[in-house]
Amino acid sequence: MFLHIDIDSFFASAERTVDPTLKGIPMAVGSRSNLEIFNKKRTNIRLINDNSGAFVTPVFYSDKKQTFDSYFVDKIDGREKIRGIITTSSYEARAFGVKTAMPISQALQLCPHMVVVPSNYPLYHKLSHRIHNFMMAHMPKVEQYSIDEFFTDVSGWIKDEDCYLFAEEIKQKMIDEFDIPVSIGISRSKWIAKLATESAKPFGIYEVKDIDSYIEDIPIKAFPGIGKGFQERLGKYYIKTLGDVKRSKTLFYSWNKPGKQLYNRVTGIDNEQIEDRGDRKSIGISRTFDAINDSDEIKRRVMIMARHIVYMVMAIEVNPTTYYLKINYEYGIKRKKSETVNRIFSEQLFKRVLIEMYDEIKVADGGAIKISVNLSNFTSQQQKTLSLIDIDDDMSDNKLSREIHKLRERFGLDIVKSGNEI
C-alpha cells in the first residue's frame, strides 16, 4: 500500500511554527521576483540547497530581515504600490477567496485583515529536509516528490488493514515533532494515493479501497499530469471525468507510451514504485522585472545570473555542456538560443558564450521583461569526452573558478564579480 503525505499549506504552516500568533487567523505567505541579486551594492547573497535532487529548486537569499513594507511595497512618484503574489494561504484566508498566485493587492481587497508575511525559503528548505529525514527513520521506502509532498510504500511492512491506523500515527507524530499538519492519501496505487490526499484535506486521511468507484465522478483536471492543454484535447472526445478515462482505454492506448502511462495511472494499474529521484539534471535561474530597454543593462543582468548559476555548478561539482539563454520582451516577443560546448566548465567560458548568445538574440528596440539562463547535459571531466583543443586553458580556468567559489562560500556570492557585472 502507498501513502501520499502532503503538508497542509506548507509555507503558511512553516511560518506558524516560528510565530504562533499566526495560528487560527487569515494569513498568507507572499513572494515577488527577487531582484536583489541585481543590486550594485553588496547584499551578501547566499545559496540554500539542503534538499539535494531534482524535486526542490535551490534558493538564493540574503540575511536581511524583510517586512511587509520593505518587501512588498514600492514607492513610485510619492505613491505606494503593493507588488507580489500569494504563494500559500491558510485555510482561514481561503475562506475569503484568497488563492495561490493571486496578486497580494487583490487578496487584501478580499480579506483586508489578512496578515501577509514575506517568503522565507531557508526556513522551508530546512524544515522540509528535517521532515524527510524523519520519514526515512519511520518508513522503509520514501520518495520526496516536492518540497512538501512525500510518497511511501509500506507493503510487506504494514498490513493493508492497518494502514489507516499507521497513517493516523504518522499524522500525530508530525504534529508532536514539528507542529506541522499533514493530510494523507492511501491506496494500492501510488498516483491514486496522491489523488486521495485531495479528498483528505485539510488535516485528514482518506483511504481508497475501490478505485473504480472512487474515480468515477472526479473531474479530469484533478488528476496530476492532466494540464489545461490536455484537458481541452480530452474535451473533444467528451472525456470530462476520470470514469470517462477508464472507459476510453482504446483511445488512450492509441496515443502510445504517454497515453498508456496516463490511463494506467488513472485506473490504478500502473504498478509504479517508489523512485530515487536522483541527482539534478539541470540548473537554471530566471527573473522577471519591469521592462528594460538598455541593452548593456540586460547583458549585465545576464552576467549576474550566470555568476549565481556558476556557484550552483561548483557546489554540486558537475560539468554542464549545454548552455541555454532566453529573453522575454514586451508584447509577447521571445528570443532563445542554446549551445552545446564540450569543454571543461568555468565561469569565464560560460560568460563568454552567454555574451555571444545574447548578441545573437537581442532585440534592438524591445523592452526585456524576463531573463532565463539554464545549464544541462552534465558530463564527467574525462578528457576523452571533452575537447582537447583548449584543454590546458580550460583546466586553468576551471581551477580559478573553484578557487573563487571558495571565497564566495565564505563571504557570499557577490564577494567576487567580473567587470561585465558592474
With contact defined as beta carbons under 8 Å apart, do 260 and 269 qualify? no
Task: Say whether 169 is catalytic.
Answer: no
Distance CA 3, CA 196 (A): 9
Distance CA 248, CA 290 (A): 47
Q: Which of 134, 146, 111 is nearest to 27 (CA)?
A: 111
All three cell numbers of 202, joined, read 485539510
Q: 191: which residues sit within 8 A by CB, 6+ positions away?
A: 223, 224, 265, 266, 268, 270, 272
Catalytic residue among 15, 92, 143, 149: 149
Distance CA 42, CA 62 (A): 10
Query: What CA dihedral angle connects 403, 407, 409 and 412, to 10 degrees?
Result: -140
Q: 406: which residues sit within 8 A by CB, 6+ positions away?
A: none
Q: 256: which residues sit within 8 A by CB, 6+ positions away?
A: none
With contact defined as beta carbons under 8 Å apart, do 370 and 287 qualify? yes
Positions marked catalytic: 149
